[in-house]
Structure 1
Amino acid sequence: MGLEKENVKSGDILDLRVLRKLYEFVSPYKFRFYFLVFLTVALAVLAPTRPLFIQIAIDDYVAVGDRQGLLWMIYLLIGLMVLHSVVQFAHTYLSGWLGQVIIRDIRVKLYKHLLKMRLKFFDNTPIGRLVTRNISDVETLSDVFSEGLAAIIGDLLQLVSILLVMFLVDWKLTLVSLCTLPLLIISTYIFKEKVKVAFNDVRNAVSNLNAFLQEHITGMSIIQIFNREKREYEKFKNINKEHRKAHLKSVLYYSIYYPVAEIIQAIGIGLVVWYGATGVFDLDIKVGVLISFIMYLQLFFRPIRMLADRFNTLQMGVVSSSRIFKLLENKDQIPNEGKFAPEKIQGNIQFQNVWFAYDKEEWVLKDINFEVKHGETIALVGATGAGKSSIINLISRFYDINSGSIKVDGTDVKDYELSTLRKHVGVVLQDVFLFSDTIYRNITMGNPAITKEQVHYAAELVGAGRFIEKLPGGLDYDVKERGATLSVGQRQLVSFVRAMVYNPEIIILDEATSSVDTETEELIQKAIEKMMQGRTSIIIAHRLSTIQKADKIIVLHQGEIKEIGTHEELLRQDGYYAQLHQMQLKSMVIG
């Protein structure tokens, strides 16, 4: 009932590998990106012009009483401010747009990548963590483009251009202006490091919260069955407390840093006013120069204050990027190199010396050999963990075997194009999963080629038509998440229709009647007989009474085949199957 907590650290801003991979997503929009760089440079150039024009207006026109010249300077200054506003708007919008289209592309690529992963990958990875990768981590990348890299470059260019103009106007006053700069740089660096740690804690807390919530909401029935509400509530409170503490820590650092930065800036402006006023009195400095320097200082200190935030944004973006790229670089996928894609198959299945393990060499299946011919029905029986479900998972290549071969119609399953192979195999599982959608879309899985008439026909075939017609809206009835508004038996019937509507040549039933009542089971048994006509069928069942008519029964024990034969033949052998049969008969009598 516990998840391993995830811990991440801030990345290196100059992680060239991550930045190079990010640029791969930028390259389709490189002309817009280059235009954004141009706008960034333009803003840096325009930043110091306003104080410069005000200085010229005061010293060259106001001081000498030139009203006409002052009017033209005002027009020029207004035009300059309008231009600056237009460029600022274009820069803000374009950086935001670029960030959104890039995270859209990354999110689509990430989800497409997840669709190809082996089931083993999902067995070992918390779903909440994958949700964090696809939502929170990808969203963080948007800030990299809107508030990160481009903004940092713009701020640095602005600082350089302002300093350059200040030195050109009055180098002595510039040096006085920069007296408090070391204090601001030191405080900014301390703030940056403290906030970086706080942001790391926030990201870890968000990831752990997502993973915890996903697992525990999904398993809510188990929590309530075993009366674990109070203990799980306390666990959640502790995780949420860590999340709150991390956020409050960052809030504390911000509440300290910005007032300190304002005080340092005020001291700098005070020094400029004191030194500048002395110069004005001595006629060494003009009034316009003094006023412009006050404006320069305000412009100069603002990007320095913002740089700490922007560096942390970029660092967290690098962290999110590296985690996303690590997932994208994970090649734990079923290879789909096969080219064989027949429209129809016969359905002959052959297992030859098959060995399989989920984890290293902890063998689940050991040297499995059997054959199912077209139209035959075989049943797999055995205790829990004998390897029955593993066999059916291997036929559709949800997992790949370690050694041996599995052939369909004489062709190795690895030589089939993966979607073609799975199209020819219909699977009905014991644990039916339905999406929050209509019954129609759950049956067709969004395939537009399947009509409602075909669905109705398949529903009548398996005996599901009656209950579907009684639902509000019929096939358009919304079953809610995981089919919560349907009974277990109804969900099972829907899964039968879902398998049949694709008209597969191979039918696999994994404990398909174990969760239904006796009346529904009889209905499904009749449907199964119709489904299996002319098809290769593999049935897994604990109830031996449901498989007595099978052409062949394979008895598994601890991953090995112990017996093969018909129901009568296995009873005559008086072996493992006969023991299972006797045990079930006794339990029925007792029941």
Structure 2
Amino acid sequence: MNVMKKLYQYALIYKKSFILALLMLAIAVSAELTGPFIAKTLIDNHILGIERSWVEVNASSKDAVQYQGHYYKRSDHLESGDAKGQEVRVLQVGRQFVFVHEAVQATGERTFTDGQLQIKSGNGELTTYAATKISVNELIGFYKPEMKGIFMLMGGYLALLVVACIFEYGRIYYLQTSANRVIQKMRMDVYNQIHRLPINYFDTLPAGKVVSRVTNDTEAVKDLFVNVLANFFSGTVYITGIFVALFLLDVRLAFVCLIIVPILILWIYVYRRFATQYNRIIRSKLSDINGLINESIQGMTVIRAFRRQKDTEQEFEEMNEQHYHYRTKMLNLNALTSHNLVNVLRSLALAVVIWYFGSRSFDIGGAISFGVIYAFVDYLGRMFQPIVGMVNQLAQLEQALVSAERVFELMDQPGTDVAEGTLDRYQGNVKFDDVSFAYKEEEYVLKNISFEAKQGQTVALVGHTGSGKSSILNVLFRFYDVQKGVITVDGINVQDIPKQLLRQHMAIVLQDPFLFTGTIASNVSLDDPSITREQVEKALRDVGAERILANLPKGFDEPVIEKGSTLSAGQRQLVSFARALAFNPAILILDEATANIDTETEAIIQSALDVVKKGRTTFIIAHRLSTIRSADQILVMHRGEIVEKGNHEELMQHKGRYYQMYQLQQGSSASGQEPAAPSVPSAKPSYVG
């Protein structure tokens, strides 16, 4: 599973926005990186340019500077009509400027005393020139012709900053908007994938871990797009632009600075090698913690009833301690390899620049100008800003990649696409033909099951816990598929019908019905637009819910919180019955539907069952055998096999396993003696009615 490739494919969905953000970033970086070049021009051409040679011109020459009754103009500013006279120089010595009345060729260390300018070259040769100290006002006069160029460059620099700010805003907006859209799409895909997964996937994966992948892991992936990729994306473009500028300034030193790139790449590789291992454990421990919290909240009543608070706290503390342990390792790794390395690289780069430029002459005749030095140091300082940003995001990058791996692992699980369309309501003739099924390979919980339920019949399934009753309904609903045999509905193999369409005309009422957050009415219709309000109310009245729910303040619009915990077991069961009735199924499953309710509510539900079952094939799983006496067919299960079948009267006459179970429940053993335990059946059914 190539995580980066999958993330790239998600990014391609909104490639136009990402490309637009890239273009804006390139413009913003170009505008911002032009600043040091402008500063270099400002320093070399206008501020330090005063030390270039000056030529005496006539008074009418444009932008000529008057000094001691004569007019002078910089030689690089001369125009075709200017009369050229004697060459002079204006040089800086310490904090003062001097005027030299002749050309100056020597370069080196300068000193000025008693009207004499002395220049000592590198080989110790001393050259002396007659010079005059320039006052501040006179110096300003020499700078006046440069003010126009200075203001133009400053205005251009300010304009570039405005352009950079505008495009930087656009870059942030479009990049983060695109990233949020990617995560929105990813979350939707993960949620849809959960509905595509087979039921057995959730048998071994706690709900808290699934929730962690949908929420925590996708949130970490969001940080990857919004923060990490934004920093790496802009940092890469920024560093590339800086190296282009460095090569334009000085090729040899730019090549020396290039050594930073492989060092950075090597460091990222080493960092990721350790960080990936730690982050996998951290994300796994976080999922375990979420799973334990979810389980503890749902089982809080049991935990308190059996005084297991301390044990649960200890289990949580152990997980929390392990999570903290690897978090600490991750922090140590970050502390050792983040700012420390960047500071070392920065210091080395600046040391190279100082050594390189320190061996050169900084004066007007030197090979390197002050403007180049300023620009180089400025660019180096700017280059380490994105490096610091990238380094700071490495920890988040690893967390995001590990989280993305976990998300894609979930999304790569084989599932079944939700089928579109509708299926004509079938009659409800169900047939099991030599069906065998195992949750785990070769551990069959159903063995050679064969029976037929005709339209409108009621089939009851009875037997001890684990005998296979619920498994029959699981394979009928295709929550699981059988390994052997065939199940047909109206003569059609259920495996030839898409699962969603097969269940379109089926309904189930569970022993512990699940209600969603909303209202009683919305839990009946499940917000299906095809079920009207009138149908909802009729279904509730038909199952007798009106009498029991009438005392609620808002009646059928009474708010329901998660799992319907504010309602009694009987009220929840009635809502579940009404839900099944509202969807008008051809096949109805009642799985211990009256096991957890009081006698009064059971009487109401029993009277409603005749309404619910009318015209439908109904399967009932029941431990209370008195509730299934009117069933058309009773299947007695034992160890995954049908050992008896027939109606109530036939099975009672046979006096087999069903008879003994019924007598046990009726408490009819003579003289208070316990009835004999049922004998273990042979491999084949002992009775077929």
Q: Same fold (TM over 0.5)?
A: yes
- Residues 293 and 353 (structure 1 numbering): CA distance in 2 closer, same or farther, change over 3 Å? same
Higher mean C-alpha displacement, 147-156 vs 346-355: 147-156
Cα distance in 1 for residues equivalent to 2:20 and 2:395: 25
- The structure whose residues are more often helix, as a share, is 1
Please give the per-residue CA displacement for 1:370-428, whole angstroms capped at 9, x wherever unaligned. 11112222211111111111112222222211121112222222233433332322211
Pair 1:440-2:521 in alignment = yes
- The structure whose residues are more often strand, as a share, is 2
The correspondence for 1:496, drawn from 567, 577, 594, is 577
Cα distance in 1 for residues equivalent to 2:422 and 2:232: 53
Please give the per-residue CA displacement for 1:461-498, whole angstroms capped at 9, x wherever unaligned. 11111222221211221221111101111111111111
What corresponds to 1:21 in structure 2?
6
Please give the per-residue CA displacement for 1:189-244, whole angstroms capped at 9, x wherever unaligned. 66665555554443233222222222222222332233211011012122222333
Q: Percent identical across equivalent pairs?
A: 37
Please give the per-residue CA displacement for 1:556-581, whole angstroms capped at 9, x wherever unaligned. 11111111112121111111111111
Cα distance in 2 for residues equivalent to 1:173 and 1:131: 54
Higher mean C-alpha displacement, 69-78 vs 409-418: 409-418
The correspondence for 2:606, drawn from 522, 525, 530, is 525
What corresponds to 2:434 in structure 1?
353
Superposition map of 1:470-489 within 5 A: 470-489=551-570
Residue type of the alignment partner of 2:423 = A
What corresponds to 1:207 in structure 2?
287
What corresponds to 2:162 in structure 1?
82
What corresponds to 2:39 in structure 1?
54
What is the DSSP-based 3-state SS (H/G/I as helix, E as strand, rest coil) of the residue aligned with 2:191? Answer: helix
What is the DSSP-based 3-state SS (H/G/I as helix, E as strand, rest coil) of the residue aligned with 2:513? Answer: coil
Residue type of the alignment partner of 2:510 = L
Instruction: State TM-score, norm by structure 1.
Output: 0.89
**CA-based RMSD:** 2.9
Please give the per-residue CA displacement for 1:148-181, whole angstroms capped at 9, x wherever unaligned. 4464344234323322322332346657877988
Show structure 1 runs of 5+ residues with no match: 1-14
Pair 1:158-2:238 in alignment = yes
- Residues 520 and 179 (structure 1 numbering): CA distance in 2 closer, same or farther, change over 3 Å? closer
> What is the Cα deviation at residue 300 of structure 1?
1.6
Cα distance in 1 for residues equivalent to 2:629 and 2:450: 22
> What is the Cα deviation at residue 314 of structure 1?
4.1
Residue type of the alignment partner of 1:59 = D
Superposition map of 1:506-585 within 5 A: 506-585=587-666
- Residues 470 and 251 (structure 1 numbering): CA distance in 2 closer, same or farther, change over 3 Å? same
Cα distance in 2 for residues equivalent to 1:556 and 1:217: 35
> What is the Cα deviation at residue 84 of structure 1?
1.5
Superposition map of 1:2-401 within 5 A: 17-63=2-48, 64=50, 65=143, 66-149=146-229, 151-171=231-251, 174=254, 195-255=275-335, 257-258=338-339, 261-262=342-343, 265-266=346-347, 268-269=349-350, 272-273=353-354, 276=357, 279=360, 281=362, 283=364, 284=366, 285-333=368-416, 341-342=423-424, 344-401=425-482
- Residues 463 and 144 (structure 1 numbering): CA distance in 2 closer, same or farther, change over 3 Å? same
Q: Is the 8 A contact 2:223 2:396 kept in 1?
A: yes
The correspondence for 1:505, drawn from 586, 592, 595, is 586
Higher mean C-alpha displacement, 95-104 vs 151-160: 151-160
Q: Is the 8 A contact 1:376 1:537 kept in 2?
A: yes
- Residues 190 and 298 (structure 1 numbering): CA distance in 2 closer, same or farther, change over 3 Å? farther
Cα distance in 1 for residues equivalent to 2:658 and 2:289: 48
What corresponds to 2:534 in structure 1?
453
> What is the Cα deviation at residue 315 of structure 1?
4.2
> What is the Cα deviation at residue 275 of structure 1?
5.6
What is the DSSP-based 3-state SS (H/G/I as helix, E as strand, rest coil) of the residue aligned with 2:645? Answer: strand
What corresponds to 2:116 in structure 1?
none
Q: Is the 8 A contact 1:128 1:210 kept in 2?
A: yes
Higher mean C-alpha displacement, 254-263 vs 216-225: 254-263
Cα distance in 2 for residues equivalent to 1:541 and 1:189: 62
Residue type of the alignment partner of 2:35 = R
- Residues 417 and 203 (structure 1 numbering): CA distance in 2 closer, same or farther, change over 3 Å? closer
Cα distance in 1 for residues equivalent to 2:239 and 2:460: 77
> What is the Cα deviation at residue 268 of structure 1?
4.2
- Residues 258 and 402 (structure 1 numbering): CA distance in 2 closer, same or farther, change over 3 Å? same
Cα distance in 1 for residues equivalent to 2:256 and 2:13: 47
Cα distance in 2 for residues equivalent to 1:201 and 1:351: 47
Instruction: State TM-score, norm by structure 2.
Output: 0.77
Cα distance in 2 for residues equivalent to 1:166 and 1:46: 16
Q: Is the 8 A contact 1:144 1:313 kept in 2?
A: yes
- Residues 547 and 60 (structure 1 numbering): CA distance in 2 closer, same or farther, change over 3 Å? same
Cα distance in 2 for residues equivalent to 1:588 and 1:57: 111
- Residues 255 and 20 (structure 1 numbering): CA distance in 2 closer, same or farther, change over 3 Å? closer
Cα distance in 2 for residues equivalent to 1:31 and 1:198: 36
Cα distance in 2 for residues equivalent to 1:23 and 1:318: 12
Q: Is the 8 A contact 2:21 2:172 kept in 1?
A: no
Pair 1:422-2:503 in alignment = yes
Q: Is the 8 A contact 2:429 2:454 kept in 1?
A: yes
Q: Is the 8 A contact 2:280 2:402 kept in 1?
A: no
- Residues 482 and 588 (structure 1 numbering): CA distance in 2 closer, same or farther, change over 3 Å? farther
